[in-house]
Amino acid sequence: MSSKRWARRSLLTSLGIGLPAAAVMSGMTRRRGLAGAPADPPKELSMIIRRSSERGHADHGWLRSFHTFSFAGYHDPAHMGFGALRVINEDRVQPGKGFGTHPHRDMEIISYVLDGGLEHRDSMGNGSVIRPGDVQRMSAGTGVTHSEFNASRSELVHFLQIWIVPDRRGIAPSYEQKAFPEAERRGKLRLVASRDGRAGSVLVHQDMNLYASLLGAGEPVRYEVPAARRAWIHVARGSVEIGGARLDAGDAAAVSEAGALDIVGKDPAELLVFDLA
């Protein structure tokens, strides 16, 4: 073979042209072996799965709550949080009942309603009803009091209460609420909270991004975990498959290395993806 033909063949091989399909990678990249040899299989990200049944649970009659991380009377040293993510409580509140006025400080609190309406009032003068598709963020900062009640006299309210540790203490209290229509979350990861409030998301005082997604059965979505970051995936309802593992409502997965996460709906599903430093 002439030197020119050899050089051209080497160039095409390095670009993956003319190689078997198995040797051309998609998703996570890995080093290819000798030219023409099959590539190594894609690297599978290591996950730690937190099952719904392992969560803490409290039943107060008017309130049924499941705690992903240690909270109130539930304490598990192995589950104190994940980076700046401190609390994910799945709450169901009976009609007309709720949390009376109580204080918070130095915490970013996000409410994400799955069913029903959650009525909020606080010492900053804010009053609203949070409904499915809404994301509410309250920065407690130097101190705030608020109450949360089921806005209905006949139906349960089902919501997630999320606490994020702020990147600094003593900030001024603030409040924000935005709606994210179903069409913006269907089959994609919609940014709903971020440090800089980009893309219409609510602003949080921490280096984190929160995405919401709605998936149909068999519908995929991919999330690329950036270098030096980690991800927490919480299945709010339905079921999904991640890396061959099935996760049902209330289950979560922790990933602490960079790479691609392919998430596929098994049943119609709603999930949250936390991207954390």
The answer to whether 48 and 254 are in contact (CB under 8 A) is yes
148 is an annotated ligand-binding site residue = yes
Q: How many helices (H) and strands (E) does the chain have?
A: 2, 20
Q: Which of 232, 225, 234, 123 is nearest to 172 (CA)?
A: 123
57 is an annotated ligand-binding site residue = no
Determine the 3-state secondary structure of 54 from DSSP.
helix
Residue type, 23: A
Tokens of 209: 């991004």
Residue type, 192: V
Residue 172, burial from CB neighbour count under 10 angstroms (0-12, 13-18, 19+): exposed
182 is an annotated ligand-binding site residue = no
Rounded distance between C-alpha atoms, residue 86 and residue 68, angstroms: 9
Helix, strand, coil: what percent of the chain each, to 5? 10, 50, 40
44 is an annotated ligand-binding site residue = no
Residue type, 275: D
Residues flagged as binding site = 102, 104, 146, 148
Annotated binding-site residue numbers for Fe cation? 102, 104, 146, 148
